[in-house]
Structure formats: C-alpha cells, structure tokens
Structure 1
C-alpha cells in the first residue's frame, strides 16, 4: 500500500501552508480574538483558496476531493491555529450530499462551496454528555412543513453562521433538519471559547425548518465522524507546531551556562512528545481512511483515533508547558495558545473517556487474544 501523498495533495498542502505563514500570523490571529474569535474576511480567504469547496461534489460547484485532501488541509490550519471552523464545511457538505434531497443540495451545496454560506452542526445539548442518541429537541409536522423547538449548545461560530444542521425528535425518532439563521424564532447567544474561538447557544421556538433526512441518527453519526476526523488532523498540526516551538525554546534557553536542550532528562521528555505525535499522526491517517467504510466500522475507527489523539494532545500540551516553564502559560507567548487549543480539542467531539466507552461497548465476545 502506498502511503505517500500525491503531487496534487502535496501542492495543496504547500498552498495552505503559504497562506498560513503569510496571511494568518499570530498578530492577525490576536486581532481576530479581540474582535470575538471569528473573521468573515478570513472565511472569504479560505473560500478563495477553494477550501470551502474541497469536499463538495463537482456537480454542485465543488472540487469533489476526498477525506485525505481534507486531512492535509486541516493539518496545516492546525499549525497556524486558524480559528475559523472550516471543518464545518466538510461536515455540512458530507451530510447534505449523502442525505439531502436534490432541492436541498441545489440550494445549499453551491453556497457552501463558494463560501457564501457558513452551515454548522448544532447537535450538542447540556445533558447529552457527548451521546448522539440523547436529544430533547422536538419537531412538529404540518403537512409538508416542519417546525422546531430546540436548544443547542456550543455551536461552532453559531452567532456568525448562516444556517444550522439540527437534530430533533420526529415521530419518536431523531431526524435531521436544516434551519436558516433568519428564520422566525431563531436566536443565538455568542461567546468566546477557552481556546479563543467562537461558539454560541442556539434557541429555536416554533422555527420553520427543512427536513434533511428522517434517518437522523445515521446522518448525525456521519457528521460527528467527519468532524472528529478533521479534529484529529488539526490536532496533528497543532502538536507538530507545539513540538517545534518547544525544541526551539530549549535550544535558546540556558541554565548553568548551557542550553537546556543538552540535558538528557529533558531530551527524553522531548522524545516522548515526538512519539506521542507520531502515534497521533498514524491514527489520524487511519481515521481519514476509514471515513468511507460502513457506519459501524467507521464509528469505531473514529473512536479509536479520538482516544489516541486525546491522550497525545494532553501529553504534548502539558509537556510543552513544563519544558517552557512560566512563559509557557503567558498570553504574550504563542505557545500558550497552542496549549489551550490542545486542551479544548481533547474535550471536543467526545473526550477520551467517552470514546473509551464507545470502544468498550463495541467489543465482541471474540475480542482479545483468543479471537
């Protein structure tokens, strides 16, 4: 099996890396943080690069690329700590392309591809504790029309989004709906997250909605798996840059007249960070390659990946802070922002313990050395 990236994928990586280096500097990021943690201008630049169109089918104005291409992009955005939620474009295009009616596809996929519409997944509820099958939101049907009553929390860039993909109970089972921000009864409460990004709580009261699919749990599982694959790839990029910053600091910081990079105990800790990074990278590749598999296999594969990524992100972030000392947690130093991002990512899309539970529930009688 060839694990090398194609020439097109390498060119894509290089293009995104150049934009991050020149167009998304730490100073620009800090100015966006001061404005609330989301920039529509940056979202437009991502669209100009073709990134919002990356996984949208070609017949709807997209580039029709796959999961590995999305992974390559997310790694580079992770290195630059880009806050704009490009992964949501991958999630929305995957769900709408697979489950939406032709009318829904025609209306939304081209708008997602052009960057004109930011469509985000609004699935979390306070008592769900990461479980996708726990949903208190209610949908009502009146002929061919639907209305929603729902409260969703921690919606990525929710007060900046143009539409939401919302799960709700319909006739005793979860269905998936698309809600436009300008629809009657929609309100959002936006706030900054701990990693300086943007999120919001979404409230729908008798809000008109468009049905995407009545098979909502399967579609929601796909959405979460796509989001977690993107998160894993982004985490690899964040960890890679964190390790780079740490080694650069150790080669400059001196104690007892020598750089601390010469201390054997500290070198061993850096080696452990590198090992955790490479374990995470291999599982991120695994996660992206498994996105095309049947639901049960895909979902367990993403849980395995998220367990490893969660362990690696926590380890790399915390070791980086320890090796930096006090400067590692100051806002003025870029490394502290990588640490905050890694810490929040471990708890996004299901934390490590949640995904360990998913894997435990998926074990069969034949699992283990006697299989």
Structure 2
C-alpha cells in the first residue's frame, strides 16, 4: 500500500503551514479567545485557501478532494491550535453530499464551499453521554414542512454559525434536519470553552427546519465518524508541535550548568512522547482511509482510532507539562494552551472510555489471542 502523499496534497500542506506560521500567531489566537473564541475573519481566510471546499463535490463548486486532503489540512491547523471549527465544515460537506436531496445540496453546498456559511453539527444532549441512539429532540411534520424542538449542548461556535445539522425524533425514528440560526424559535447561549474556542447551548422551540434525510441515524454516524477522523488529524498536529516546543525548551533550559536535554532519564521520556505521537499518526491515517468503508467497518475503525488518539493525547500533554515544570501550566506560555487543547479534544465525539466500550462491543467471537 502506498502511503506517500500526492503532489497536490503536499502543496496543500505547505500552503496551510505557511498560513499558520505567518497568519495565525499566538498573539492573534489570544486576541480571538479574548474576543469570544471565534474569529470570522480567520474562517474567511481558511475559505480563501480553499479549505472549506475540500470535501464539497466539484458539481457544487467544491474541490472534491476527499478525506486524506482534509486530514492533511487538519494536521497543519492543529500545529497552530486554530480555533475555527473547520472539522464541522467537513462534517456538513460529507453529510449533505451523501444524504441530502438535490435541492438541499444545491442550496447549501456551494455556499459552504465558498465559506459564505458555516454549518455545524448540533447533536449532543445532556442525557446522551456520547450515545448516538439517544435523542430527546423531536420534530413535527406539517404538510411539506417540519419544525424541531429540543436542546443541544456544546455546539461549536453555536451562536456564530449560520445553520445547524440537528438530529431529532420523527415518527419514532431519528431524522436529520438543517435549521438556520436566524430561524424563529432558535435561541443560543454562547460561551468560551476550556481550550479557548467557542461553543453554545442551542434551544429549538418549534423552529422551522429543512429535512435532510429520514435515515438520521446513518447520517449522524457518518457525521460523527467524519468528525472523529478530522479530530484525530488535528490532534496529531497539536501533539507534533507540543513535542517540538518541549524539545526546544529542553535544549535551552539548563540545570547544573548543562541543558536538561542531556539528562538520560528526560531523553527517555521524550522518546516515549515521540512513540505515542507516531502511534497516533498511524491511527489517524487509518481513520481517514476507513471513512469510505462500509458503515459497520467504518464505525469500528474510527472507535479504535479514537482510543489510541485519546491515550496518546493524554500522555503527550502530561509529559510536556512535566518536562517544562511550573512554566508549563502558566497562561502566558504557549505549551499550556496545547495541553488544554489536547485535554479537551480527548472528549470530543466521545472520550477514550466510551470508545473503548465501542471497540469491545464490536469485537467478534473469534477476537483474541487464541482465535
């Protein structure tokens, strides 16, 4: 199997890396956090780079590049711990292009590709605990139209997004709807999350909604799996930069007159960080490559990937802070923000324990050493 990236993918990586290095400094990120955790200007710049069009089909003014190119972009954005939720643009692109009727695709996909609108997934509910088959939001059909009622929690940029993908119960089964933020009956309460990004509680009270698909469970699983793959790729970028910052600090920090990078015990810990990073990278590749598999195979693969990424994120983040010492947890020093990002990402789209349960539940009777 060929794991080399194409020339177009390498050019994409270089373009995104240059933007992160030159256009998204730590000071700009801090200013965005102080302003509320979301910068529409930064999101527009991502659109100008073509990132919002990556997973939109060419028939709808997109680039149709697929999951691997999205993975490349997310890795580079992770290096800069970029706040804007590009992963949700990939989710919306994948779900609408796969499940939405032609009229909905024509109305929304070109605008998603251009960056004109930001559509995010609003699926989490307080009692669901990561389980996708638990949904209390309800929908009512009235002739050819629908309304949605319910409360969705921790919706990324929920009070800034232009529309939401909302799962709700319709006639005893889960359907997926698209609801505009400015629609009647939509209320949002925004806040800054632990890693500095923005989220919101979104309440729908008989809000007018566009039906995307009655196969809501299937569409929701695709949405979450796409989000997991994007999160895994972003986490690899975050960990890669976290390790680089830590190594640079160890080469500068001196104790007993020598750089602490010379101490064998600390070098071993850095080697373990590198090992966890590479394990995570391989599973991120695995996750993106499996997005095109059959649903049951895809779901199992993405759960495995999230388990490894969760373990790696926790280890790399904690070791980075410990190797830095006290400065590693100060708000003024950048590595503390990488640590907070890794800590929060471990819980996105299901934490490690949840996905460990998912992996266990999907093991076949023949699984194990003695199969």
Common fold: TM-score over 0.5: yes
* 1:60 corresponding residue in structure 2: 60
* Equivalent runs, 1:1-371 vs 2, <5 Å: 1-371=1-371
Aligned-pair distance for 1:369? 2.6
Shift of 1:2: 1.0
Offset at residue 317 of structure 1 (A): 0.1
Counterpart-to-counterpart distance in 2, 1:370 and 1:41 = 56
Aligned residue for 2:53, secondary structure, equals: coil
- 1:334 and 1:37 map into 2 onto residues whose CA distance is 16
Structure 2 distance, partners of 1:370, 1:343, is: 36
SS at match of 1:106: helix
Q: Deviations over 1:212-260 (max 9, x none)?
A: 0001000000000000000000000000000000000000001111110
Structure-1 separation of matches of 2:26 and 2:213: 41
Displacement of 1:366? 1.3
TM-superposed CA distance for 1:309, in Å, is 0.1
C-alpha displacement of 1:144: 1.1
SS of residue paired to 2:281: helix
Offset at 1:338?
A: 0.2
Between the aligned partners of 1:251 and 1:351, the Cα distance in structure 2 is 34
Unaligned runs of 5+ in 1: none
Unaligned runs of 5+ in 2: none
For 2:366 and 2:30, the matched residues in 1 are separated by: 52
Q: Give me the whole-angstrom Cα distance separating, in 1, the residues matched to 2:70 and 2:285.
A: 11
Question: What is the deviation of 1:365?
Answer: 1.1
Give the Cα–Cα distance (whole angstroms) in 1 for the partners of residues 330 and 42 of structure 2: 26
Q: In the aligned structure 2, how far is the partner of 1:370 from the partner of 1:94?
A: 39
1:142 Cα deviation from its structure 2 partner? 0.9
Give the paired residue count.
371
What is the CA-CA distance between 1:368 and the residue it aligns to? 1.4
- Give the secondary-structure state (helix, strand or coil) at the position aligned to 2:52: coil
| DSSP 3-state at the match of 1:38 | coil
Secondary structure of 2:252's partner? coil
Inter-partner Cα distance in structure 2 for 1:360 and 1:93? 30
Q: How far apart, CA to CA, are the structure 1 residues paired with 2:341 and 2:276?
A: 17
Q: What RMSD in Å do the two structures reach over aligned CA positions? A: 0.5
User: 2:104 and 2:88 mapped to 1: Cα distance?
Assistant: 17
- Following superposition, the deviation at residue 370 of structure 1 comes to 3.5
Please give the secondary structure, in 2, of the residue aligned with 1:194: coil
What per-residue deviation string (whole Å, max 9, x for no partner) do you get for residues 119-164 of structure 1? 0000000010000000000001111111111100000100000000
SS in 2 for 1:337: helix
Deviation at 1:324, TM superposition (A): 0.1
SS in 2 for 1:52: helix
**How far apart, in 2, do the equivalents of 1:232 and 1:69 lie?**
14
Q: SS of the counterpart of 2:208?
A: strand
Distance 1:129 1:182 in 2: 28
Give the secondary-structure state (helix, strand or coil) at the position aligned to 1:306: helix
- Which of structure 1's runs of 4+ aligned residues deviate more than 4 A? none
